[in-house]
Chains A and B, each alone.
Chain A
Amino acid sequence: MHGTRILDEADRLMTVCNSCRYCEGLCAVFPAMEMRRAFSDGDLNYLANLCHSCGACYVDCQFSPPHEFNVNVPQTLAVARAESYAAYAWPQSLSGAFARNGLVISIVAALSMAAFILGFVALNDRAVLFGVHTGPGAFYKLMPHNVMAALFSAAFLYAILALVMSVRAFWRDIGTPIGGRADGGSIFQAIRDAGELRYLHGGGVGCYNEDEKPTDRRKLYHHLTFYGFLLCFAATSVATLYHYLFAREAPYPWWDLPVVLGTLGGIGLVVGPIGLFIAKSRRAAELLDAQRYGMDVGFIAMLFLTGLTGMLLLLLRETAVMGPLLALHLGAVFALFITMPYGKFVHGIYRFTALVRYAQERRGEAGS
């Protein structure tokens, strides 16, 4: 017996799958399963986070429903995975944020945006808020750079701390009984696997979505979203360096590095989430974790809002709506940061950690 009903079911499925093993060539979940004969809660959470939900094992399985063995690995692991996010959340008192995540995220996002707008209204007069500001330092007429930097650094550092603490708990749970630290080679392997989404490929033909035909473009949309996010992050980092090292103040001209990075990233963050949302809405119900639909959509929406407000800000920054748009954009980014440890964002962190563990196990096996 396990801690939860879904882990009991995951254990039952892994027992079925381990006596079959037809899927061992499809992804990392099944070879990892084959290294075990019994499954602890930590093992099951590890396997659940190793699953990329490509759906291939469901479509390929001779025992998937309506067969009486009722083997539905993608859905079961999706639910187990979502439950693991709450189980490892730090601090535990905030783990409830996962239960009604869509609602929590929307409220936080709405409050953040409202706070920035109200803040801008309260601290500036109307003329400044709706004024046309151009040239270096234009943004800081609405909010001093130091305030902005302090606020976002605090939010970001909190997110990092919470994530590190959560991953630590996860790593400990999945690391036993073998335990130990991650080695450089395994981390490098996991970066490659995560970077190319190696296991989101249905064994080579692509993802499964509405039926048994591999037509899903989720890998492409995920790449756009993920690399879009990284490019935006890089844009912000470069801009911060510009500010402190070269005393060059935003906004920067369109050809300058932070803007180029931000524009490319923004396009990714707009197109990617739209694609992911459409893919999700078409996905066969039997593959989905219906309970966590709100969490998935909430995160997609936050990324989309971040990208969209950023792009609008770029396009309209020399007009009178710059002030309100800046408030919306900062509100979206702020909400994204502080909800990161309590939403779908963590899937990437746990999956990467699971990939490190998997690389480590494979290396251990090859070495023995």
Chain B
Amino acid sequence: MSSKYDVLVIGGGNAALCAAISARRGGASVLVLEGAPKFYRGGNTRHTRNMRCAHDAATEILTGPYTEEEFWEDLLRVTGGKTDEVLARHMIRESKDILNWIVEQGVRWQPSLGGTLSLGRTNSFFLGGGRAMLNALYLTAERLGVDVEYDAEVTDLVIEDGMFLAARLKRPIRGETEIRATSLVAAAGGFEANIEWLKQYWGEAADNFLIRGTPYNRGSILKMLLDKGVQEVGDPTQCHAVAIDARAPKFDGGIITRHDSVVFGIVVNKHSQRFYDEGEDLWPKRYAIWGRLVAAQPDQIAYIIFDSTVVTSFMPTLFPPIAGQTVAELAGKLELDPAALEKTITEFNAAVRPGTFDHTILDDCRTEGVTPQKTHWARRIETPPYLAYPVRPGITFTYLGTRVNKESRMLMADGRPSANMFAAGEIMAGNVLGKGYAAGMGMTIGSVFGRIAGREAAKHARN
């Protein structure tokens, strides 16, 4: 291992590997420092499944066109306008080419088969999932001659006047504790696994958050960069958060702890009170809102309550539902007040108006005279056994990050572009995602800006 590289990539996920491959193909010598052990390499990419890219026509894997304009409108809708339009439009344009570029790096797509996701037109699915995708990228990177070090925790960055000089490591790698490089690509993820940092914005509630992905995204690189004068972007309380099973592990439960059953029942808090319209919106938007809703409830816990008539209507779940032959028995198992839960369900049932149920559209099954209303898919909960899933906020990734320009080059606090520092992936996702989320966008941000960052970093190093 040479003591100085053209490009140093910190991080080991999709964005990092796309940057490393693109820099290597641009002629640079590249070192990837992955903070996790080999099995856990790749950060949250391990748990991803698909990527959202614009395309003008249907392909073998995509059922129809998804134009740049449509992608832009979707992004505008989910973020409520909180996005950098220049960067976002640039990303969307580049995403068209990424669909093919990523295949050239060995990643394989599969046709969208089953499941409950209706993303076959907009999103491409990785054959075998995110870890398979990562394995392919690592194989390609290694074949091209990219050096990769695991368990390589960076403890400090030497930055002078917006210029990266070296990274210091906790553990020496072949005798070196300081790695120098001509360019830096920071692709080390967000800070969602750093509960202490989350508490700065969420208070004690953050103790009850479950982290869906890697325990290694502690935001240490992000913090170093912000401390050393890189411009901050994004709202620190904004993140991708969904409601996941409360029985899930604290970290790394991944996709399988999710619930998509909200539409088939009601959601109550620990006081057995409903708190939001369960029928407000279609999947996947409703999927993305429930994490924040539950985070706002006392003790950050809620219960999806439904009955035996709908158990086969949603994806099979990892944890079985908690069951009771009566509402009171169910309440007992959930440690809720039986009288309160009975009252909530009775009032809800009485408010249900007849309609034709169809969970794929905003149907006409709704309530009248109950607060909050359930505006669609409202049906009585009355057929025992009564069932419930306990849910907590599951944080996928955070949006606070480093500001970048179209070259993926970090901007310093005074607005000047850094001489040689680039960022890609979750660490700069907040540039595009001010809030909200649409499936597959994290991977788009990672691949598009990773490829750009690697290319630009190599260009800088070779000048």
Within the complex, the shortest CB–CB distance from B256 to chain A, in Å, comes to 4
A15-B316, A62-B47, A205-B108 are known contacts. Are A25 and B113 too (CB-CB below 8 A)? yes
In whole angstroms, how far apart are the Cα atoms of A309 and B44 in the complex? 55
| Chain A residues with CB under 8 A of B128 | 22-23, 25-26, 56-57, 60, 203
20 A/B residue pairs, CB under 8 Å, sorted by A: A15-B318, A16-B256, A19-B318, A20-B254, A21-B315, A22-B129, A22-B255, A24-B110, A24-B113, A24-B114, A24-B115, A25-B128, A37-B312, A37-B316, A59-B135, A60-B129, A61-B131, A63-B256, A66-B39, A204-B108
* Contact yes or no, A212 B135, CB < 8 A: yes
Indicate the member of B47, B125, B127, B252 with the most A CB atoms within 10 Å: B127
- Check A62/B129 contact, CB under 8 A, given A31-B113, A67-B252: yes
- Within the complex, what minimum Cβ distance (angstroms) separates B45 from chain A? 9
Q: Mark A83-127, 1 if CB is under 8 A from B, else 0.
A: 000000000000000000000000000000000000000000000
Q: Inside 8 A of B139's CB, which chain A residues have their CB?
A: 212-213
What is the minimal beta-carbon distance from B426 to any residue of chain A, in angstroms?
17
Q: Produce 1/0 per residue, B119-135, CB < 8 A to A.
A: 00000011111111001
Q: Are B129 and A23 in contact (CB under 8 A)?
A: yes
Q: Chain A residues near B315 (CB, 8 Å)? A: 19, 21
User: Known contacts A19-B256, A24-B115, A31-B114; can you find 18 more A-B pairs with CB under 8 A?
Assistant: A21-B114, A21-B115, A22-B129, A22-B132, A22-B255, A24-B110, A25-B111, A25-B113, A56-B132, A59-B131, A59-B132, A59-B135, A60-B128, A61-B131, A203-B108, A203-B110, A203-B127, A203-B128
Please, which residues of chain A bring their CB within 8 A of the CB of B135?
A: 59-60, 212
Contacts of A204 in B (CB 8 A): 108, 127
Which 8 residue pairs are nearest across A and B when measured between Cβ atoms?
A22-B129, A25-B110, A60-B128, A60-B132, A19-B256, A62-B46, A18-B316, A19-B318
A61 to B47, CA, bound (A): 9
Complex CA–CA separation, A322 to B389 (angstroms): 74
Verify B113–A203 contact, CB threshold 8 A.
no
Chain A proximity of B239: nearest CB distance (Å): 20
B59 at the interface (CB under 8 A from A): no
Contact B254–A63 (Cβ < 8 Å): yes
Complex CA–CA separation, A79 to B365 (angstroms): 49
Chain B CB within 8 A of A173 CB: no
Closest A residue to B133 by beta carbon equals: A60
Q: Which listed residue (B132, B312, B317) contacts A19, Cβ 8 A?
A: B317
How many whole Å from B384's CB to the nearest CB in chain A? 19
Complex contact A25–B256 (CB within 8 A) = no
Q: Tell whether B249 is near chain A: CB-to-CB under 8 Å.
A: yes
What A residues does B249 contact at CB under 8 A?
Answer: 68
Residue from A15, A19, A23 having most chain B Cβ neighbours under 10 A:
A19
Smallest distance from the beta carbon of A20 to chain B beta carbons, Å? 5
Interface residue count for A (Cβ, 8 Å)? 30
Interface core residue of A21, A23, A61 (most chain B CB under 10 Å) = A21
Which residues on the A side are within 8 Å of B114 (C-beta)?
21, 24, 31, 34
Q: How far is the CB of A80 from chain B (nearest CB, A)?
A: 20
Q: Could you say which residues of chain B place their CB within 8 Å of the CB of A56? A: 128, 132
Interface-centre pick from B110, B125, B139 (highest chain A CB count, 10 A):
B110
Q: Are A16 and B318 in contact (CB under 8 A)?
A: yes
The residue from B131, B316, B317 contacting A62, defined by CB atoms under 8 A apart:
B131
Q: How many B residues touch A, CB cutoff 8 Å?
A: 30
Q: Which of A4-34 contact B (CB under 8 A)?
A: 15-16, 18-26, 31, 34
CA distance A69 to B47 in the complex (A): 14
CB contacts (< 8 Å) of B255 on chain A: these are 19-20, 22
Q: What mask results when residues 38 to 68 of chain A are scored 1 for a CB within 8 Å of chain B, else 0? A: 0000000000000000001101111100111
Q: Which residues of B contact A20 (CB under 8 A)?
A: 129, 254-256
Greatest chain A CB density within 10 A among B114, B129, B131, B312 is at B129
- B113 / chain A contacts, CB cutoff of 8 Å: 24-25, 31
Q: Which residues of A198-216 have CB atoms within 8 Å of chain B's CB atoms?
A: 203-205, 212-213
* Residue in chain B with minimal CB distance to A65: B39
Taking the closest CB of chain A, its distance from the CB of B412, in whole angstroms, is: 36
Q: For the complex, is B24 an interface residue (Cβ under 8 Å from A)?
A: no
- B49 proximal to A (CB < 8 A): yes
Complex interface bits, B74-110 against A, C-beta within 8 A gives 1, otherwise 0 = 0000000000000000000000000000000000101
Q: Smallest Cβ distance from A344 to chain B, in angstroms?
A: 28
B125 neighbours in A (Cβ, 8 Å): 25
Contact with B along A232-268 (1 / 0, CB 8 A): 0000000000000000000000000000000000000
> Across the interface, which residues of B come within 8 angstroms of A15, CB to CB?
316, 318
Q: How far is the CB of B42 from chain A (nearest CB, A)?
A: 9
Q: Is the CB of A19 within 8 A of B131?
A: no
Q: How far is the CB of B133 from chain A (nearest CB, A)?
A: 9
Query: How many Å lie between the Cα of A15 and that of B320 in the bound state?
Result: 10
Residue of A nearest to B251 (CB): A68
Identify the closest chain A residue to B143 (Cβ): A213
Report the nearest B residue to A204, measured CB to CB.
B108
Q: Given A31-B114, A63-B254, A67-B252, answer yes or no on A22-B108 (Cβ-Cβ < 8 Å).
A: no
Judging by beta carbons under 8 Å apart, are A62 and B130 in contact? Answer: yes
Q: How far is the CB of B62 from chain A (nearest CB, A)?
A: 15
Q: Which residue of B lies closest to A21 (CB)?
A: B115
B127:A25 contact, CB within 8 angstroms: yes
